[in-house]
Amino acid sequence: MRYACQNWATEWAFASGRAYSDPFNEVTLEVLFTDPEGEEHRVPAFWAGEQTWRVRYASPKVGTHRYRTVCSDESNFDLHGQEGVLEVVPYEGNNPLLRHGPLRVSATRRYLEHRDGTPFFWLGDTWWMGLCRRLGWPGDFQRLVADRVQKGFTVIQIVAGLYPDMPAFDQRGANEAGFPWEEGFSRINPAYFDMADLRIHYLVQWGLVPCIVGCWGYYLVWMGRKRMKQHWRYLIARWGAYPVVWCLAGEGIMPYYLSEQREKDQQFQKRGWTEIAAYLRETDPYHHPLTIHPTDSARNQVEDPTLLDIDLLQTGHGDRRSIPNTVRLVTGAYARTPTLPVINGEVCYEGIGEACRQEVQRFMFWVCLLSGACGHTYGANGIWQVNTREAPFGPSPHGMSWGDTPWEEAYQLPGSGQLGLAKRLLERYEWWRFEPHPEWVEPHWTEDNYLAPYAGGIPGAVRVIFLPRGVWGVTVKGVEAGVHYRAFLFNPARGEELKLGTVRPTEGGDWQVPLARPPIYQDWVLVLEKKEGR
């Protein structure tokens, strides 16, 4: 009898007495688990090196689980037909991922929640190359985790070793055990994933959801669909028992930077990622949320958007010039059908191009959250490519470097902490019920002026209005008769609040901030929250 904690991955091995010359390509192993309610789950096992396979399993269901192995070589009784019992016991700790379970899409399809129905606020950070050796284990990695946990981040976007901005098998992408695949993509390198496991496990241990990006999109051209399915099956086997989010690829339909057949590659990638998405849905026994990091919108990277669970966006790195495209993509994604949770997965890394500083980080966060997004992803130039002082990442294949700020400096840029403050403000309310309401404030943003205020919230309960720098003297419109609000100004740079007292609108429902000018010349967040009585 084995024992496991509820929602926590447990692992065990199966060793073959029969030797295979190429075990990764010759043999597949699956384990059929039957849970206490009689439901069957087909869990892929992963080749762990030599003649050993391992399986990882997790379940929210307390009680007795039975298992039986199924091997492609049915004559190998070390691997085929093995049976056993696993007893899952309740979790009694404080890790939210174990207490509430992994993620799923809510019934409204507007936000993510844990399996027990607890809403999940996505505040992501971008560590594309975080599994490489330049972000050393354990010290560097654990230092960055501690900072992000303290600031309130909940998701880490991280690539499974097949990185952007470099050719295949570039030494900058190796970890302590080399590359995830052998040269020529002949077979997987289990030792690479042993080192990656330490990092992924640590994220989950500290309550951070890994958003696993399988590879950068153009790897599909290099590897082909068969190898890419093997790659994804291996990722599911390694990390599916953890509370992860799957991201098919980064910039899914973008061809390789130096491709000489860009249109052909783009078409191949779009068809291919659609096929891989369907394969992942069939193979993942845990049904984790699935998305793809896009060139614009996740829906546009595949031929069948119903295969996706999240509409992830990428909206630009042009500092304030990226605001119009950001607003257009977020509002457009929110209005499209079928309905999907909307999250901006990449916008204006802090410091990129010696621009996109903290005031732009605040602007992008508030614009997205008040326009229908259910979360937001931050990024810092220097972290995503893991620059170090001794070894900056250097140039991309196109010959240009995106910057050499060391990650040790980049993680302390002020924008990350300020987005944590913004998240904590929204968590006071039922943020998952928020809807965009630009009509609540006048003036408000239009396609002629994206630098005007943005508003959203819950009618009769709470209104949140973002006031960009230089905007003042606005009128709150349509304050509901019989609803009594108190108001305050929130300083999005420092988290301080200035109480404005009771909201006393005109008979027509209009109300103006009772201050002739802003306390400081910067952006502000105006909050009206319902109070009981008068």
Asked whether residue 472 is domain-assigned, the answer is yes
Cβ of 171: how many Cβ atoms within 10 Å?
A: 10
Specify the DSSP element, H or E, that contains 210.
strand 209-213
Q: Is residue 159 part of a domain?
A: no
Is the domain of 301 the same as that of 210?
A: yes
Rounded percentage of the chain residues whose pLDDT exceeds 70: 100
Domain-terminating residue out of 430, 462, 492: 430
Claim to verify: residue 205 and residue 352 sit in the same structural domain: yes
Q: What is the pLDDT of residues 70-93, one digit of tens each?
A: 999 999 999 999 999 999 999 999
Give the list of residues 6+ apart from residue 233 with CB closer than 8 angstroms, or none.
Answer: 44, 283
Hey, is 310 helix, strand or coil?
coil
* pTM value > 0.75: yes
Same domain membership, residue 450 and residue 333 = no
Structural domain includes residue 178: no
Q: Can you give the pLDDT at residue 534?
A: 53
Coil/strand/helix, residue 466:
strand
- On whether both 114 and 194 belong to a single domain, the answer is yes
Is the pLDDT assigned to residue 65 strictly greater than 60?
yes
Q: The tokens of 318 are what?
A: 């042009």
Phi, psi of 239 (to 5 degrees): -120, 0
Look at residue 144 and tell me if it is in a domain. Answer: no
Please check whether residues 15 and 75 belong to one and the same domain: yes
Bond from prior residue into 96 cis (ω within 30 degrees of 0): no
Rounded Cα distance, 329 and 451, in Å: 16
Which pLDDT value is given to residue 89? Answer: 97
Inter-CA distances, 90 with 44, 179, 219, 402, Å: 25, 38, 41, 47
Residues 420 and 511 both lie in one domain: no
- 3-state SS, residue 246: strand
Q: Which of 48, 64, 89 delimits the end of a domain?
A: 89
Hey, what are 482's tokens? 């019989």
Separation of alpha carbons 135 and 2, rounded Å: 35
Does residue 254 sit in the same domain as residue 115? yes
Angle at 382 between CA 379 and CA 387, to 5 degrees: 145
The pLDDT tens digits for 335-385 are: 999 999 999 999 999 999 999 999 999 999 999 999 999 999 999 999 999
Structural domain contains residue 338 = yes
Is the preceding omega at residue 443 within 30 degrees of 0, hence cis? Answer: yes
Q: Rounded distance, CA 125 to CA 315, Å?
A: 16
105 and 35, same structural domain? no
Contact by Cβ (8 Å): 248, 273:
yes
Judgement on whether residues 34 and 111 belong to the same structural domain of the protein: no
**Structural domain harbouring 30:** 2-89
Residue 31 inside a domain? The answer is: yes
Residues 60, 88: Cα–Cα separation, whole Å: 8
Count CB neighbours of 397 within 10 A: 13
Distance, in Å, from the CA atom of 125 to the CA atom of 214, rounded to the nearest integer, reads 17
- Shared domain check, 424 and 448: no
CATH number for the domain spanning 74: value is 2.60.40.10
On whether both 420 and 453 belong to a single domain, the answer is no
Return the closest-CA partner of residue 244 out of 271, 208, 277: 208
Q: Does a structural domain hold residue 176?
A: no
Mean pLDDT of the chain: 97
Q: Which two tokens stand for residue 164?
A: 């952007």
269 and 330 together in one domain: yes
Question: For the chain, what is the domain count?
Answer: 3
> Tokens representing 317?
């790195």
Residue 219's domain is classified under what CATH number? 3.20.20.80
Cβ atoms of 340 and 310 within 8 Å: the answer is yes
CB distance 231 to 224 below 8 Å: no
For the segment 505-516, what is each residue's pLDDT rounded down to a tens digit? 999 999 999 999
Residue 432 has pLDDT above 70, yes or no: yes
Q: Decide if 339 is inside a domain.
A: yes
Going by C-alpha positions, the residue among 274, 269, 178, 189 that lies closest to residue 222 is: 269
